[in-house]
Amino acid sequence: MIHPTAIVSAQAELGARVSVGPYTLIGEQVVIHDEVEIAGHVVLAGPCEIGSGTQIYPFASLGQPPQDLKYRGEPTRLIVGQRNVIREYVTMNRGTVGGGGITSVGDDNLFMTQTHVAHDSIVGSHNVFANMASLAGHVIVGDYTILGAFVGVHQFCRIGDHAFVGGMTKLTKDALPYARTDGTEARCYGANTVGLRRKGFSNETIRQIQHAFHLLLSSKLNTSQALERIKAEMVGIPEIDYLTTFIEGSQRGVTK
């Protein structure tokens, strides 16, 4: 199921039931697993791996060298998981040696038009990137996040699980898990209550998350004091443990 105008390298590996549209270019060291649908005018450069069931729309460009002036042609990779939807003009670059050599994307993500995943970024699963959301290099995105249109994420930032980042937000610090973060000068507005309910979180768990954010954002405690209170009052709750660990592991600071 390869269109006669497509150019596929003899060194590429294509799985079963792969379709390739017109004028698509697939380079050396590209591995495409089963049942991947590749539209016309797509460019896949290697080393690059595309997981099964992924759909790639026209004019997407995946696996090109990183946009990093330190890159000198070293062999690095892009790994994309299963059942991702990659819409028009999406770009995903390979990693750099200094960043570990791999840019990786998990499963079941939706990348809307013109989104960008830069070198050495790690994206989890079940995320939604709205139009033109962009990750700079070395960004880590958890699972079940939503990035609104035109979101820009600074290098080395992290976005926690179940975070909602509003459109046109500029993130220069980490976006907290379970939270709503918004604004050109990003601010955290507390628990992402609507999103958590949609994901099936219990009312009790949501109440505990809300209380943790009250201590972090609305009390007169500083971050260290708030963390002490949270850990003392809500022991052994997985979501709270993840929240406190995320904050304590921050290198750039968290958005409050």
Identify the DSSP state of 66: P
Residue 181 near residue 204, CB atoms below 8 Å: no
Cα angle value 176/181/186 (rounded, 5°) = 105
- Told to judge if 119 belongs to the known catalytic residues of this protein, a careful annotator would answer yes
Active-site option among 119, 138, 162, 166: 119
Residue 162 near residue 196, CB atoms below 8 Å: yes
Active-site option among 137, 142, 148, 190: 137
- Told to judge if 95 belongs to the known catalytic residues of this protein, a careful annotator would answer no
- Told to judge if 116 belongs to the known catalytic residues of this protein, a careful annotator would answer no
Closest CA to 142 of 120, 124, 128: 124
Q: What's the token pair of residue 185? A: 């000068």
Q: What's the token pair of residue 186? A: 């990003």
Alpha-carbon span 168 to 96, nearest angstrom:
28
* Sheet of 61-64, strand order: 7-8, 25-26, 43-44, 61-64, 91-93, 116-117, 134-135, 152-153, 170-171
Strand partners, 77: 102
Q: What's the token pair of residue 217? A: 């954002």
Cα angle value 144/147/153 (rounded, 5°) = 115
Number of other CB atoms surrounding residue 11 within 10 Å: 11
Active-site option among 68, 107, 108, 120: 120
**Which positions are catalytic?**
119-120, 137
